[in-house]
Amino acid sequence: MERRTKVIAIANQKGGVGKTTTVVNLAAALSARHRTVLVVDLDPQAHATLGLGLEKQQGISLYPVLIGEKPVEEVIQPTKWNNLNVIPSEVDLAGAELEFGVREDRLEMVREALRPVRESGAFDYIILDCPPSLGIVMTSSLVACDSVLIPIQAEFLAMDGLALITGSIDRIRASVNPNLELNGIVFTMVNMVAKLTQDVMAEVRSHFGDKVYETVIPRNVRVSEAPSMGTPVVFLDPRSKGAESYRAFAWEFMAKNPTRYEVRPNESKRDNPEPPVAANPATDAPVA
């Protein structure tokens, strides 16, 4: 089957919901399962860049591609793990909202910048880490992608945040990108003991049905520690609850978003899209 690259934005206008942590660990878990992944860090804070073990570098981001100074291939950086690459972020992206606001092609600029790498078929997934605000960069990112994955916390204001981002998806679908879909909603930093958590999760599931992923990501110290070490938790501590949950989420994600084929010949019977019962660090460890 011919490869069809899936471009997926991970976005939420509300900050502090585990957006970048989800980008980093989903990408890492997919790469460990032999899927080729390109992370595009569009958040000027560059947390996805740092979380994947890279440093910010002037001129190495999507910014010079957006202004026509470099081809996109020149800003793609390898990580120390096979199958996992990143277009880093840098400080110049912080001024993009003002600089690009007057461009006539501002809504299509991210899509056009990524077109060569998407059409090359070099990656199974291109994952966009969007800034936590509905400005020019985030809007252009939603225009560029096939679908939007929304991480949320199971808290009182979750529905308000969901209403904002799903409303944005509806407007972009109606005006610029008719093929844009809601990829799904994933709960992060979950405390299953709290009754409020259970109530919020039940309410979101009642509204969005099977668009809500079954896998939930629990609060976990190792998930919080991993960014400071520049290593996704699925590689840093494969036996931790956070790592197990992100690997399980990756299985579910692959089943809902197949690329060339769902299960590859060199994968074992355990490698079906169903979440594994227990972690297996030997098969999920990074390849240097």
Mean pLDDT within 34-50: 95
Structural contact between residues 134 and 11, judged by C-beta atoms closer than 8 angstroms: no
What mean pLDDT do residues 146-174 have?
A: 90
pLDDT in tens, 202-257: 999 999 999 999 999 999 999 999 999 999 999 999 999 999 999 999 999 999 99
User: How far apart, in Å, are the Cα atoms of 219 and each of 7, 216, 224, 247, 269?
Assistant: 28, 10, 9, 15, 30
Q: Please list, in sequence order, all residues whose beta carbon lies within 8 angstroms of the beta carbon of residue 91, skipping any fewer than 6 positions away.
A: 44, 56, 58
Asked if the structure places residue 174 within a domain, the reply is yes
Q: pTM for the full model?
A: 0.89
Establish if 23 belongs to a structural domain: yes
Q: Please answer whether residues 197 and 191 qualify as being in contact, where contact means their C-beta atoms are separated by less than 8 angstroms.
A: yes
pLDDT for the residue numbered 3: 58
Least confident of 13-27, 129-143, 167-181, 262-276: 262-276
Q: Does residue 126 sit within a domain?
A: yes
Concatenated DSSP letters of 136-166: HHHHHHHHH-SEEEEEEESSTTHHHHHHHHH
User: How is 110-138 classified by DSSP, letter by letter?
Assistant: HHHHHHHHHHHT--SEEEEE--SS-SHHH
Identify whether 80 is part of a domain: yes
Confidence band, pLDDT 50/70/90 cuts, at residue 159: confident
Domain that holds residue 207: 6-284
Give the mean model confidence (pLDDT) for residues 17-21: 93
The reported pLDDT for the residue numbered 190 is 93
Domain count, the chain: 1
Identify the weakest region by mean pLDDT among 156-160, 191-195, 265-269, 271-275.
Answer: 271-275
Q: What is the mean pLDDT of residues 10-37?
A: 93
pLDDT beyond 60 at 264: no
The pLDDT value recorded for residue 2 is 52
Domain of 43, CATH number, reads 3.40.50.300
Residue 1 lies in a domain: no
Average pLDDT value for residue range 72-80: 97
- pLDDT for position 220: 92
Q: Is the pLDDT of residue 265 over 90?
A: no
Residue 81 lies in a domain: yes
Token pair recorded at residue 227: 């960014």
